[in-house]
Amino acid sequence: MIAKLILRNKVYEVKPGMALVDALKKSDIVPESVIATRDGELITDDEILRPGDEIKLIAVISGG
């Protein structure tokens, strides 16, 4: 079973067992550009993805 990263209605399928930060990089998503949630709870970049996870990514707007 895979884990999914969901950003703006686009789904990226990744292997469970890897850290979120590695899954983001593998999917060409800049880790600093998103906030990740699992089941409505904020998770950190070093969180290990589990089979069946659906991680919702929220784009962070930054400016100066």
Asked, for residue 64, whether it belongs to a domain, the answer is no
* Residue 24 per-residue DSSP state: H
Query: How many domains, in total, are found in the chain?
Result: 1
How remote is the C-alpha of 7 from its chain's centroid? 8
Asked, for residue 55, whether it belongs to a domain, the answer is yes
Q: Which residues span the domain enclosing 34?
A: 3-59
* Residue 21 per-residue DSSP state: H
Cα–Cα distance, 32 to 29 (Å, whole number)? 9
pLDDT of residue 63: 67
Cα–Cα distance, 27 to 39 (Å, whole number)? 21
DSSP string, 37-50: EETTEEE-TTPBP-
pLDDT tens digits, residue range 41-53? Answer: 999 999 999 999 9
pLDDT of residue 61: 79
Any idea what the CATH number is for the domain that residue 27 is in?
3.10.20.30
Asked, for residue 37, whether it belongs to a domain, the answer is yes
Asked, for residue 22, whether it belongs to a domain, the answer is yes
Asked, for residue 12, whether it belongs to a domain, the answer is yes
pLDDT tens digits, residue range 21-64? Answer: 999 999 999 999 999 999 999 999 999 999 999 999 999 977 66
Q: Tokens in use for 22?
A: 């590695």
